[in-house]
Structure 1
Amino acid sequence: MLTQNPSRNYSFEKFFTTLKARQSPALIWYSDHSERIELSGRVLENWVSKTANLLSEECELDSSEPIHISTTTHWRSIIIALAALRIGAHLHFVPEEEDCADIFCTDNIDELPKSSAEYRLLVEKSPLAPRFMGVLPDDTMDYCALVRSYGDVYHGLSTPSLTDTAWENTSYQQLLNSIVLTQQEPLSEQAYDISAPPMFNANYLQQVLCCLSQAKAVILRDPTVHWVTEEIHRIHHDEKAVCSPWL
């Protein structure tokens, strides 16, 4: 029988500890021109730790504090969002909520003038870019260039409080509960293709969390690319993947 809080023995710390121990693929990105980027659980957790250190040390992000993420759905978007959750921040995805956050993350340089946030992070979308591939606007931080210099282990004191809001009307307690409930229906395949929306959002992030919590790989197909059926079938065959059960 389920309790009111099925996640009482589960936490985000346990989630990231388990993720770090994985040598198998956790996140696989596909884009045009046969672009494929694979991150094992260990590598994904490493980037999350670096990003959490950047957000907490450079941008002074603390638990319960807001961060606005306005990006297309991209493997770097997932890393930034996971890092914010690790800190225990309040994630915002809706444009009109922009002004409530001191940190604004975007991959669209045209969005920067609309933000009054104290810290503005510009995220490069090209594959494995070491920096923003253009002219960086004033008062803007280059996420790709900065994140590499931060520590591989997150030692921040800020962690999620179960009563705090993760996003919208969802608390960290409710989010963990949903992950644990999903685990009670184990996934059988080794990888799952979660249909990515054009703009990164909370629903997509929650599906990613549920998939990763079961030690399965997330297939992320670049939503800016028009994918024909034959290409999707090839990816599924190569990765031994199926479409997400939560679609």
Structure 2
Amino acid sequence: MNTTIPKAFAEAVRRDPAAPLLTWYDDATGDRAELSGATLDNWVSKTANLLVDGVGLGQGDNVALLLPPHWQTAAILLGVSAAGLAADLADLGGDPQPVEVLFTTPDRVERAAAWPTGDRYATGLLPLAMPLRQLPAGYADFVTEVRNHGDHFRGEPVSPADRAFAGPIELSHQDALSAADDRATQLGFGAGDRVLIDVTVYPDPIDWLLAPLIVGASAVLCANLDQDKLDARATAEKVSLVLA
């Protein structure tokens, strides 16, 4: 088994860079986005370069994600890991802790004010990765800024013992992937599966991101899931397992 999140992601991309690795639906907005391994890797590399070259972070620094499940959240979390940083999953709860950078959405800005940090980025999680029309005061627009950075990231190697998560959960890379492998077994999917996941029911990225990644599955993530669309979507997306 891969022992760091960047290695697990790189292996997932290598298996078939053009195949859908993560598909996103939001039934409240009608948004659908399909990301191949190569496309997601591009976003991950740009995010890591933003954090290292743009902000100047170094291995071991903490980054807070006050973000709901979303494909952009996946890109940010994987970018944080690629850069050797620790992700504080602030949206899952826990007390605010000092971090070097914070990512959030405009509707969470009031809550985000409790986190002591330097740089702050906001994203509207909008269809087609559109930028925000109006930025909260003190924030940079993630989707605008990240596009200015390189498509490939060459950082220092990440160790299995390095921290992957801080804040509500403290896990090394090795422990995080071990937990993800256990969750895949508990939830009943494995290599080659295409899993539809209601992210309202499974909001932890261990479940909706890392578990599919570590076992070689692909994910169809659904927010605000319309149950009336579930059967047709599962058929159209060639889903082998529904977690809703």
TM class by shorter-chain length?
0.7 to 0.9
- Residues 97 and 86 of structure 1: CA distance in aligned 2, closer, same or farther (over 3 Å): farther
Assess if the C-alpha contact under 8 Å between 1:63 and 1:161 holds in 2.
no
**Helix, strand or coil at the partner of 1:241:** coil
Q: CA deviation at 1:141?
A: 1.4
Q: Is the 8 A contact 2:60 2:163 kept in 1?
A: yes
**Letter matched to residue 178 of structure 2:** N
What do the CA deviations read for 1:86-130 (whole angstroms, capped 9, x no partner)? 122221123554341121110135335444311001012111134
Q: Output one character per residue of 1:152-201: Cα deviation in whole Å (capped at 9) or x when no partner.
A: 111122x4332232222321121233456678887265410122138x96
For residues 1-247 of structure 1, what are the structure 2 equivalents within 5 Å? 7=1, 10-21=3-14, 22-32=17-27, 34-94=30-90, 96-109=94-107, 110-111=109-110, 112-134=112-134, 136-157=135-156, 159-167=157-165, 168-179=169-180, 187=190, 190-197=193-200, 203-222=204-223, 225=224, 227-243=225-241
- Cα distance in 2 for partners of 1:125, 1:13 equals 23
For 1:181 and 1:93, the matched residues in 2 are separated by 20
2:194 aligned partner, one-letter code = A
Task: Look up the SS of the partner of 1:100 in the other structure.
Answer: coil
SS in structure 2 of the partner of residue 133 of structure 1: coil
Letter in 2 for 1:173: Q
Tell whether the 8 Å contact from 1:26 to 1:215 is kept in structure 2 after alignment: no
Structure 2 letter corresponding to 1:18: E
> In the TM superposition, what whole-angstrom CA distance separates every residue of 1:13-32 from its partner, at most 9, and x where no partner exists?
43233233321100101123
Q: Contact (CA 8 Å) 2:5, 2:173: kept in 1 or not?
A: no
CA deviation after TM superposition for structure 1 residue 151, in Å: 0.6
SS in 1 for 2:127: coil
**Which structure 2 segments of 5+ residues have no match?**
none
Within 2, Cα distance between the matches of 1:34 and 1:41?
23
Cα pair distance change 1:229/1:16, threshold 3 Å: closer
Aligned length: 232
| Distance in 1 separating the partners of 2:56 and 2:36 | 28
CA deviation vs aligned residue, 1:25-55 (integer Å, no higher than 9, x gap): 0010112354311000111111111111111
Tell me by how many angstroms 1:237 deviates: 0.9
Relative to 1, partners in 2 of residues 1:215 and 1:42: Cα closer, same or farther, differing over 3 Å? Answer: farther
Paired residues of 2:6 and 2:81 also in contact (CA < 8 A): no
Give the conservation status (yes or no) of the 8 Å contact 2:3–2:160: no
Q: Which amino acid letter does the alignment assign opposite residue 219 of structure 1?
A: V
Task: Give the root-mean-square deviation of aligned CA atoms.
Answer: 2.8
Q: Given the superposition, is the C-alpha separation of residues 101 and 17 from structure 1 closer, same or farther in structure 2, using an over 3 Å criterion?
A: same
Residue type at the aligned position of 2:211: C
Over 3 Å counting, the alpha-carbon distance change for 1:140 and 1:186 in structure 2 is closer
Range moving further from structure 2, 102-111 or 12-21: 12-21
Alpha-carbon distance change, 114 to 181 in structure 1, aligned in 2, over 3 angstroms? closer
Paired residue secondary structure (1:208): helix
Deviations 1:42-83 (CA, angstroms, capped at 9, x unpaired)? 111111111111111222232222111101221111110111
User: Identical aligned pairs, as a percentage?
Assistant: 24
CA contact (8 A) 1:189 1:242 kept: no
Change (3 A) 1:137 1:162: same
User: Could you tell me the TM-score, scaled by structure 2's length?
Assistant: 0.82
Distance 1:31 1:170 in 2: 30
